[in-house]
Amino acid sequence: MYRVVVTGVPDRMLLEGESFQLSAVGVNESGAATSATGASWQETDTTIARVSATGLVTVTGAGHAAIVARLAEKYTYAEFNTSSVVAFPASGALVRASGGKVALFGITPGTQGPLNFYLQPFDARDDRVVAASWSVSTPSPNFNGDANITLRFDPTKLPAGTPVNALEVFSLSGGTWKPIRERAQLDVANHTVSARFLGTAAYAILADPVAMISLGGAGVDATLAIGASTLLSARTLGADGLDLPTSRTVTWASQDPQVAIVNSDGRVTALKAGRTTVTATSEGKSASTIITVSP
């Protein structure tokens, strides 16, 4: 036997009280499994994690844990990071995470009784993340997967140039922050952002800027008689091509206001024969259409 391979370590920060099962196999130099069985297990710090004779690990505290697996005179380490949890108080709490950035929400639901909420820091390593506190609402005392998560932001700590209307709840999926569009709500007065709760995950408030603008309405590439008017509309879209859930400020401009003018609602009025370009702009992104005025 060449070495021992251990599997079963979750690829995430682990919460105090969680358990998971490790397995160990011996492999030869070509990587094929050998017939060696009967691995023994040993923890290096019982204040962080304990392991049973069968490889069942239980997290007991916060820190960097290492579990030793021995098989046929060979050994290896299974390493992982843990964090102590903090019970989520019913009245809410202001909890700042690592670097004041983001937090991991661990949920331990039972089939009966109220939810048990736990918080722990999560290092986002992303400058877009806004410092936040968090709370969860659920329509019933039993967890049924249909809940909302609400994050509170400090408006004095928003990165320079970040529009409040651009704030949304994001979750970390596959190493990428993705916006949660279901039931997304922004409460500017109370400095909170809400969205559907997706279960145990990393959550954060991030700015979701306008990535593109899509023009619509009868005014797109319209030809108008002098004195006539038409209406344009502008959809603000995120990087995923979907409509942003919060309203964004859109400004309208006509390249030649002597030919046609456009008001703040996107209504174009023809003034004299010619052509002009009407442009909608939001958060640095723009889209244009040609308006032709016939004599």
- Residue 35, pLDDT > 70, answer yes
Residue 30 has pLDDT above 60, yes or no: yes
pLDDT, mean of residues 92-102: 28
Question: Is 102 exposed, middle or buried (CB count within 10 Å of its CB: 0-12, 13-18, 19+)?
Answer: buried
Q: How many CA atoms lie within 13 A of 249 on its CB side?
A: 6
- Give the pLDDT confidence score for residue 201 in this predicted structure: 63
**Average pLDDT across the chain, whole number:** 77
User: Would you state the pLDDT for residue 175?
Assistant: 62
Spatial CA neighbour of 233 closest among 210, 252, 246, 258: 252
Q: What is the pLDDT of residue 56?
A: 95
Q: Is the pLDDT assigned to residue 294 strictly greater than 90?
A: yes
Residue 276 contacts residue 255 (beta carbons within 8 Å): yes
**pLDDT tier for residue 275 given thresholds of 50, 70 and 90:** very high
pLDDT computed for residue 12 by the predictor = 66
Confidence of residue 126 (pLDDT cuts 50, 70, 90): very low
pTM: 0.52
Helices (H) and strands (E) in the chain, counts: 0, 29
- DSSP code string of 30-87: TS-B-S----EEEES-TTTEEE-TT-EEEE-SSEEEEEEEEETTEEEEEEEEEE--EE
Residue 88 to residue 7: CA distance in whole angstroms: 32
